[in-house]
Amino acid sequence: MLGSKLPGKVIQNINSTFVGGGVAEILNRMVPLLGQLGVDARWDVIKGDTDFFQVTKKFHNALHGRQETITKADFEIFKETTEKNLKEMELKGDIIYVHDPQPAGLIARKSKSGKKWIWRCHIDVSHPNEEVWRFLEPFVVQYDSAVFSAPAFSRELPIRQFLISPSIDPLSDKNKELPQETIDSVMEKYGIPKDKPIITQVSRFDYLKDPVGVIEAFEMVRKSINCRLVLAGGTASDDPESEKVLTEVNERAGDNPDIHVLLVPPNSDIEINALQRASTIILQKSLREGFGLTVSEALWKAKPVVASAVGGIPLQVKNKLTGLLSHGIAGTAFALRQLLTNPDYAKWLGQNGKEHIRYNFLITRHLRDYLLLFISLEHPGDIIHL
Amino acid sequence: MGTAINWILANWSALLVPVAVFLFVLLIVLLLRRRIYEALDRWLSRSGWKGNRILLRAFRVPSLLWCFIAALYVGLTVSALPLVWKALIGNGLGTIFVLSLSIAIFRFGSGLILIYGEKYQIPWHGIVVTRNIARIVILIVTVLALLDIWGIRTSTAVLLIGVVILAAALAFRDALSNLLAGSQLGTTKKIRAGDYIKLDTGEEGSVVEVKWDTTLIKAPNESLIIIPNSRLLRQTIINYGHLLKKAKEPFRFNSRAHMTELTGLRARNLRELRNILKTASDATIFFHTHHFLQEHHFLTPEPSNDLAVWVTDALGDQVLGERLASVDTFEFTTLESLKERMVSILDEYLATEAPLREAMEGREFYFMKSISVIFALPDVVTDLREFVAALSRISTSSLYFHIFEARLRLGKGLNDFSIWLRDSLGEEELAEEIARHDPYTYTLEGLRSSLIRLVEKRIQ
């Protein structure tokens, strides 16, 4: 019904990669679904070389609040690539939906296009490196609207800002129900015995996911409770830092037989699904987080979750209702112990978590938010009568 | 002709006695018939039985014929005719008697079926079928009786007829069971045209017609449901009775979708919270007093406003948190007055000049706005029964819109249901009861069930 309110409109999504990372994952699902609702949604990516993506990775980290040295040359590389894309990118949409900072500079073509522009920020910009934010802000304020994944990411801006949480697709390989044989075969493949409770963190090997902190929290728990840790993750084409982090994690894990560090190749969604389903507790000890879709995935599987209160995680984990929030390594270890020693409580949290995801973080809600966002571009009020 | 006259003249003395007996008996039975008819007429008239006229009419001519048959039979008995002739004529009289009796019983039975069919509102098809069955039974009995009179063995015929009836019963067993169920529905008057019924299999609607084999129900979505009568009788049926009062204006269900707009404003302590809150829009107040309910409606009926949660969790002030949490949103009919109450609590606290606590970085209070997109649903109802049926199928978003959003967000001061019940349906009492119902103490599904119970109680 909402789709019918956008007759003939073309929505052009633009980001930096077709594969790897949460944005590509969302668009892979969202674009065809919008099409099925009668909305002409398209998806293009900007072009960039390795230098450009190294700069945008630095921007990404800096916007997340990590200490990064950004040079003038970095800004120049960004501008040059943006210029190239400004010339090459064909703007086919009535609504141009730009995802993340990499293609943000395309807004320079707004004045000529007469189209509506939305900037979708998927990352945690609650404590950004001011230099990078000041560089990006002039682009951002030219958009008609901005969209963030968590309230803390918003800033006082002269444009409308909306909160749209990401979502998961319950029918995707990563979230669908799996037969026990599949789960068992994946555990066997990765050599993970099911002889004791398994704590799992699934995320890209990234400093901001604090994999080393996860190992430290696990070691604190392991002193009193016999359990295993699985750290499973992959890499993204726009993240050149992953390999380095993986090496550090392997070094920190050493030869502890209860710690399993798994480099899961891209498109291993069923394996990730199986690992999550085989786990006793899912952990997401991020230092910064955009939204944290792995938390939604875990909750959807009715798993008890321990997660850092950062980014969009508190939207998903209501402390002591749908999971446990932590603020540090010791707190994480404490929460893990609580759940391991109280399985009924853990089960109750997991079930609540699943219902919370059902009502608020499935792709159907996300689709609706997108449609409402597009509709809101034409309706400035707080109450819109269709 | 001449031969017959000659024969009579030659045998007048042998005919005189049987003819005299015939005339005498005829006179007696005619008189007797008349007395019986008069007595029967008086007695039936006093009883007020509707079938008396049918009975008298059905037997008037046949009974006259029976008088002649009786007189002839007695005359025949005393005559000097050969036994073979007597037997032959006796069989003929018996045949006429059986045929006339069958016709009389058929007329009487048909009349009774019609009277009682109308009395118990049995559909016309049912009456016709019942009459035909009675006709077949009478015919079979008549044929068997005639065969018996003429000395033909009937055991084979009875067997044959039995087989045919059994085969017919098997072939038309569904039709028969539906017919019997239809008759039962008609006689017991459990369901009548115009009644609104709900079956345990989920079908519901207004009964359009109870036919001899099926019952037609018009569902709330205007579709026609055809249910075999035998199936209908096997179910638990809630019969809400006849059509209810129609509303002056129909109730049109709406729903709403919601977006969260970020203001970029954040508070780190109570003073900042109070200052921003003081100038906050209705959209902001509505968001922070209702979004928990909307997001967690499945989990807990306990309403929780964001200010109370933040003061308790982020500032660690349990006492002030409790004061803010105890603000009963249901007491307020405007968002402005609700905001003033919150602000006044904060003002009272700030006036004590207690040291201000600062929220940790990342735990600030982020002000947001609720953007509502309202759209019409296809559900339009005109009476209580349609209303309760729609209530059970609308989404929780629609329920939320009409109960919470309409009252406070749209500034109506009262929920949509109560307004419609009072103004368009004249159901002041029910409207008042729903208005008094504190929706903040329910989960949305719990609220739906509670409202349905209230309306169903009113219908019954």
The model's pLDDT over B79-121, given as tens digits with 9 standing for 90+, comes to 877 888 888 888 898 999 999 999 988 888 888 888 887 777 6
For residue B182, the Cα-to-chain-centroid distance in whole angstroms is 14
Return the SS3 of B140: helix
With 70 as the cut, is the pLDDT of residue A112 above it?
no
Q: What was the pLDDT predicted at A4?
A: 80
Q: What is the mean pLDDT of residues B205-215?
A: 84
Which residue in A148, A358, A376 is closest to B262 by CB distance? A148
Instruction: Measure in Å the smallest separation between the Cα of A156 and chain B Cα atoms.
Output: 4
Query: Does the distance separating the beta carbons of B281 and A372 come in below 8 Å?
Result: no
Which of B11 and B93 is assigned the larger pLDDT?
Answer: B93
* pLDDT the model gives residue B113: 85
Task: Report the residue from A2, A163, A376 with minimal CB separation from B262.
Answer: A163
Best to test chain B binding among A140, A383, A386 (most B CBs inside 10 Å): A383
Does residue A308 sit at the B interface (CB-CB below 8 Å)?
no
For residue B406, the 8-state DSSP code is I
Name the strands in the sheet holding A40-45, side by side, starting at the edge strand that comes first in the sequence: A40-45, A10-15, A95-99, A116-121, A145-148, A160-163, B251-267, B365-381, A383-385
For residues A109 and A86, the answer to whether their CB atoms sit within 8 Å is yes
B390-408 pLDDT tens trace: 999 999 899 999 999 999 9
With CA atoms as reference, report the closest residue to A293 among A203, A353, A163, A162: A203
The reported pLDDT for the residue numbered A361 is 92
Place of tokens 């005919």: B15
Considering chain A, tell me which residue range(s) the CATH 3.40.50.2000 domain(s) occupy: 3-167+363-376, 180-360
Any A CB within 8 A of B202 CB: no
- Return the percentage of chain A with pLDDT > 70, whole number: 98
The arithmetic mean of pLDDT across residues B258-264, rounded, is 93
Indicate the pLDDT class of residue B365, thresholds 50, 70 and 90. very high
Which of A382, A384, A385, A386 is best to mutate for the B interface (most B CBs within 10 A)?
Answer: A382
Flag if B370 and A385 touch (Cβ within 8 Å). Answer: no
Residue-level pLDDT at A118: 96
* pLDDT band (50, 70, 90) for residue A107: very high
pLDDT of residue B109: 87
pLDDT for residue B243: 67
Q: Cα–Cα distance between A325 and A295 in angstroms, integer? A: 11
The first and second tokens of residue B330, run together, are: 């249901």
Closest approach of A61 to chain B, Cα-based (Å): 18
* pLDDT tens, position by position, B241-257: 776 788 899 999 999 99
CA pair distance B384, B393, nearest whole angstrom: 14
Which helix or strand (DSSP H or E) is residue B9 part of? helix B2-10
Q: How many CB atoms lie within 10 A of CB A257?
A: 8
B237-239 sheet: strands from edge to edge = B224-228, B214-218, B204-210, B196-199, B237-239
Residue A384: pLDDT band with limits 50, 70, 90: very high
Q: Which of A289-293, B6-10, B23-27 has the lowest mean pLDDT?
A: B6-10
- Provide, as residue numbers in chain A, all residues whose Cβ is less than 8 Å from the Cβ of B283: 382-383
Name, in order, each residue with C-beta under 8 angstroms of B402's C-beta and a sequence gap of 6 or more.
Answer: B253, B254, B415, B416, B417
Report the pLDDT value the prediction gives residue B123, as an integer from 0 to 100.
Answer: 67
pLDDT over 90, % of chain B: 34
Phi and psi angles of residue B277, each rounded to the nearest 5 degrees, phi first: -60, -40
Closest-CA distance, B172 to chain A, in angstroms, reads: 49
Averaging pLDDT over each range in A6-15, A57-66, A296-305, B202-211, which range is the top one? A296-305
Weakest-pLDDT range from B130-144, B390-404, B445-459: B130-144
Stretch among A20-29, A53-62, A307-316, B430-439 having the lowest mean pLDDT: A20-29
| The CATH fold of domain A180-360 | Rossmann fold (3.40.50)
DSSP SS3 for A162: strand
Q: What is the pLDDT of residue B251?
A: 96
What is residue A125's predicted lDDT score, i.e. its pLDDT?
Answer: 87
Helix B306-313 with B282-295: angle, nearest 10 deg: 80
Sheet holding A259-263, edge to edge: A259-263, A228-233, A198-202, A281-284, A305-308, A324-326
For chain B, the farthest-separated pair of C-alpha atoms sits apart, in whole angstroms, at 149
Whether the per-residue pLDDT at B288 is higher than 80: the answer is yes
Domains of chain B, earliest start first: 2-171 (no CATH), 191-239 (2.30.30.60), 246-460 (no CATH)
| Two structure tokens written together for B347 | 């003002």
Mutate to test the interface with A, among B258, B262, B292 (most CBs of A within 10 A): B262
Predicted confidence (pLDDT) at residue B328 exceeds the cutoff of 80 = yes
Using a CB–CB cutoff of 8 Å, tell me whether A155 touches chain B. yes
pLDDT confidence of A357, banded at 50, 70, 90? very high
DSSP state of A106: G
Q: What is the pLDDT of residue A140?
A: 95
Give mean pLDDT, residues B43-47.
Answer: 80
User: Which residues in chain A touch residue B266, judged by CB atoms under 8 angstroms apart?
Assistant: 152
> ∠ CA(B140), CA(B143), CA(B147), 5° rounding?
140
Q: What is the pLDDT of residues A209-240, one digit of tens each?
A: 999 999 999 999 999 999 999 999 876 655 66
What mean pLDDT, rounded, does chain B reach?
A: 86
Q: Is A2 helix (H, G, I), strand (E, B) or coil?
A: coil
Residue A274 one-letter amino acid: A
Q: Which of B295, B296, B366 sits opposite A152 (nearest CB)?
A: B366
Contact residues on chain B for A2, CB-CB shorter than 8 A? 257, 373, 375
* Confidence check: pLDDT of B129 > 90: no
Task: Say if residue B301's pLDDT is above 60.
Answer: no
Closest to A56 in 3D by CA, of A120, A102, A96, A115: A102
Question: Please, which residues have CB within 8 angstroms of residue A214's CB and are 6 or more apart in sequence?
Answer: A201, A229, A231, A283, A285, A332
Give me the residue from B259, B282, B366 closest to A373, CB to CB: B259
∠ at Cα A228 (A227, A234), nearest 5°? 155
Task: Give the bridge partners for A294, in sequence order.
Answer: none
Rounded to the nearest 5 degrees, what angle is found at the Cα of B371, between the Cα atoms of B365 and B373?
160
pLDDT given for residue A153 in this prediction: 87
Which amino acid belongs to residue A161? Q
The Cα–Cα gap between A195 and B147 comes to 91
pLDDT of B88: 87
Is residue B375 within 8 angstroms of chain A, CB to CB? yes
Q: Is the pLDDT of residue B221 over 80?
A: no
**Each residue's pLDDT tens digit, A362-377:** 999 999 999 999 999 8
Does A154 sit within 8 Å of B262, measured CB to CB? Answer: yes
CA dihedral sign of residues B270, B272, B275, B280:
negative
Tell me, yes or no, if B110 comes closer than 8 A to chain A by beta carbon. no
> Which of the given ranges, A134-148, B2-16, B96-110, has the highest pLDDT on average?
A134-148
- Sign of the four-CA dihedral B331, A360, A358, B400: positive
B456 class by beta-carbon count within 10 Å (0-12 exposed, 13-18 middle, 19+ buried):
middle
How close does chain A come to B370, measured CA to CA in Å? 7
Homologous superfamily of the A3-167+363-376 domain (CATH): Glycogen Phosphorylase B; (3.40.50.2000)
Residue A64: what pLDDT?
83
pLDDT of residue B125 exceeding 90:
no
Closest CA to A121 of A95, A106, A102, A101: A101
pLDDT tops 90 at residue B75: no
Confidence of residue B305 (pLDDT cuts 50, 70, 90): confident
Highest averaged pLDDT of the listed ranges A355-364, B194-203, B208-217: A355-364
CA A231 to chain B, closest CA, distance in angstroms equals 27
Angle formed by the axes of helices A363-376 and A21-36, nearest 10°:
80
Mean pLDDT, residues B120-144: 80
**Per-residue confidence (pLDDT) for residue A381, from 0 to 100:** 87
Q: Quote the longest CA-to-CA distance of chain A.
A: 65
Lowest mean pLDDT among A87-91, A256-260, B151-155, B328-332: B151-155
Tokens 């008697």: give the residue: B97
Percent of chain B with pLDDT over 70: 96
Interchain contact, A382 vs B283, CB within 8 Å: yes
Separation of alpha carbons B366 and B306, rounded Å: 10
Where residue B118 falls (left for φ over 0; alpha for ψ -120 to 50; beta otherwise) is alpha
Q: Between A and B, how many CB-CB pairs are < 8 A?
A: 94
A302 touches chain B (CB under 8 A): no
Locate A2 and state its tokens.
């909402």
**Tell me, what amino acid is at B394?**
I
Distance CA A325, CA A318 (A): 8
A96 Cβ neighbours under 8 A, 6+ residues apart: A12, A14, A106, A110, A113, A115, A116, A117, A118
Would you place residue B1 in the very low, low, confident or very high pLDDT band (cuts 50, 70, 90)? low
What integer pLDDT is reported at residue B17 of this predicted model?
A: 84
Report the SS3 class of residue A109: helix
From the CA atom positions of chain A, what is the Rg in Å? 21
Residue B449's nearest CA partner among B399, B402, B404 is B399
Residue A223, classified by CB atoms within 10 Å of its CB into exposed (0-12), middle (13-18) or buried (19+), is: exposed
Q: Give the model's confidence band at A322: pLDDT under 50 very low, under 70 low, under 90 confident, else very high.
A: very high
Task: Give me the pLDDT at residue A23, please.
Answer: 85
Q: Does A42 touch chain B (CB under 8 A)?
A: no
Whether residue A158 lies within 8 A of chain B, CB to CB, comes out as no
Mean pLDDT within A175-191? 95
The pLDDT, as a whole number, for residue A113 is: 66
**Residue B185's closest CA among B273, B117, B251?**
B117
**Which contacts (CB < 8 Å, 24+ apart) does range B93-101 have?**
B93/B69, B94/B149, B95/B146, B95/B149, B95/B150, B96/B65, B96/B69, B97/B65, B97/B66, B97/B69, B98/B142, B98/B145, B98/B146, B98/B149, B99/B142, B99/B146, B100/B61, B100/B62, B100/B65, B100/B66, B101/B62, B101/B66
Give, for B198, the enclosing helix (H) or strand (E): strand B196-199
Specify which residues B215 forms β-bridges with: B210, B227
DSSP single-letter state for residue B370: E
